[in-house]
Structure 1
Amino acid sequence: MKISKFKEYIVITLGIALVAFAIEYFQAPNNIAAGGVTGIAIILNAVIPSLSIGIVSLVLNVLLFIVAIIFIDGKFGVKTIYASVGLSLIIWVIEEFLKPVAITNDLMMATIFGALISAFGMAIVFNENASTGGTDILAKMLNIFFHIDIGKAILAVDFLITLVSALVFGVDVALYSMLSIILLGIIIDRVIEGFNVCKSIFIVSKKSEEISRYIIDTLDRGCTFLKGVGAYTGKESDILYAVLSRNQFIKLKKYIKEVDPEAFITVGEVHEVLGEGFNDIK
């Protein structure tokens, strides 16, 4: 159990490191304030250069956590606190010791690659049931006090940050910031879907009992027998249903080819699986 937890935090650390890299080498040097606490920190750093983006992010996150505890009874998992504080600290370390400069000064390239790297890192964090905190808390407050949907509230907060960005950096840069926010939302969803894609399989075979034992004993997955009747033959048959990872499906297909080459198999992709052996239902 302890080893599993340690791996989770290693993965989260990798995720926030990618986000920090995107911020310090693509977004901040080009004044792209792509929403969130770090977007606010980038704007404040531009107005007062002596303010470190990492330190400002840390202070804002702590203040937001306190506000959430006072006003909305905020309960944050250890992972979320670790991710939000860890991101701020990594940004500070990069600024303090590596003196980052922009990898590219082309605003379009910085927007695209910054969003790609940041989205991949955030997807890794979200996939471990954590988040980087920040303006999600402000969105939650808008939801509670003004009854605005969470999704719309997040967009409203990010839009407000972009509006301030336009006043500080100009409309052109602010539009790139808005593009970055849009790309982040799209890419994060796609990456998380990619992490969680599984194969949904229906099998009709004369060796269904043997195949089910292979799924249970060798692949360590559950499966279900469904009763079916052949439309042409009128005979009853067992239909085996299972949900497997890509690697497990490859092994199963190889096994079925050996025991029953005449088996009939249909395969589909599912992007979220909840329940025993997969993600918990939350």
Structure 2
Amino acid sequence: MAMTKEKWKQEILRYLFMLIGCFFYALCLDLFLVPNHIVGGGVTGLATLGNILFHWNVGTVAILLNIPILLLGLKTQGWVFIVRCFITNMVLGIFTDLFAFLPSITQNPLLAAMYGGLAQGVAIGLFVRFAVSSGGTELLGRVIHHGLPHIGIPTWIAILDGIIVLTGAVVMKNPENVLYALILIFIATKVSDTVITGLNRAKLCYIITERPDEVSRTLLENSPRGVTNLSGKGMYSGTPKGVLLTCVKSHQLVELRRLVRSVDEEAFVIVSETTEVRGKGFESMEEE
């Protein structure tokens, strides 16, 4: 079946951001991790250890280590995903070796772990957001989970990465590597989550009030956000309650509280974070 114009656009964007992700991941390795001898998780962590011990090219070793993992994943993950992994793996390996001549920005391993986590988080976030992968322990975790499904994929990935980090610490006789790797992984996780969900997070608000019609009318008259009335009952007093549900952007929260208080000072407002809101007034419902 011929690809539509929209599908072509999605594929072009996918591989464009894959290139950007590989660029940031390569900079993470070449500017921060490899020169400061920080062995993080994943296949690139093993490749970094090979560079430290034998001066092997990190990118080339990562490509070679990933090939058997990609072959293992072919049956369970499908050829389309594996082809994307192969292309990403090749590009990342080439970029890593291509930029290896760049001098390290810092000789402080703590700063290297922090800024390396920042660059790696951007890369991983782009990979996840645009459905590409370089393989590695993430793909190996999927393969193992297929055979041993009683343990989740994230757990398998954590186990594999932990083994690599500990191996690096033991081989280099440097237990501090574990601490730097934890900093790296923590920052990378937070940054990748931000890249995946975006900066424009919203607040989910529940407004419990005995005057739901008046409160909702005031909100609708003064805000572009919709309001949904859920039926409720105060279990202590036994009186009916209106539970109003609405989502607002962060900067609109103060105004929402002011409007609710102007109508019902006894209202109970519950605010929680949301990682993604799609629909009118927020992100488009279209797939990326």
TM-score (norm 1): 0.69
Letter in 2 for 1:162: V
Aligned equivalents of 2:17 and 2:77: distance in 1?
28
Aligned equivalents of 1:214 and 1:53: distance in 2?
58
Cα deviation, residue 234, structure 1:
9.6
Secondary structure of the residue that 2:245 maps to in structure 1?
strand
Worse-superposed segment, 147-156 or 256-265: 256-265
Q: Does 1:94 align with 2:94?
A: no
Match of 1:30 among 27, 33, 36: 36
Letter in 2 for 1:123: G
Aligned equivalents of 2:232 and 2:136: distance in 1?
52
Letter in 2 for 1:153: W
Worse-superposed segment, 255-264 or 118-127: 255-264
Unpaired runs of 5+ residues, structure 2, are 1-5
Q: Does 1:43 align with 2:45?
A: no
Aligned equivalents of 1:261 and 1:241: distance in 2?
18
Aligned equivalents of 2:227 and 2:16: distance in 1?
32
Aligned equivalents of 1:5 and 1:236: distance in 2?
52
Q: Does 1:134 align with 2:136?
A: yes
Letter in 2 for 1:208: S
Letter in 2 for 1:262: V
Cα deviation, residue 163, structure 1:
4.8
Unpaired runs of 5+ residues, structure 1, are none
Coordinate RMSD, CA, aligned:
4.2
Letter in 2 for 1:27: L
Q: Once the two structures are superposed, what CA deviation does each residue of 1:4-44 show, in whole Å capped at 9, x if it has no partner?
A: 66556555544433222111111111222212111122223
TM-score (norm 2): 0.68
Q: Does 1:179 align with 2:184?
A: no
Give the structure 1 partner of residue 271 of structure 2: 268
Aligned length: 265
Identity across aligned pairs (percent)?
20
Aligned equivalents of 2:30 and 2:57: distance in 1?
11
Give the structure 1 partner of residue 250 of structure 2: 246
Give the structure 1 partner of residue 163 of structure 2: 160
Give the structure 1 partner of residue 60 of structure 2: 55
Aligned equivalents of 1:30 and 1:148: distance in 2?
38
For the structure 1 residues 244 and 106, does the alpha-carbon distance in structure 2 shift closer, same or farther, using more than 3 Å as the test? Answer: same
Determine if contact 2:204/2:274 at 8 Å carries over to the other structure: no
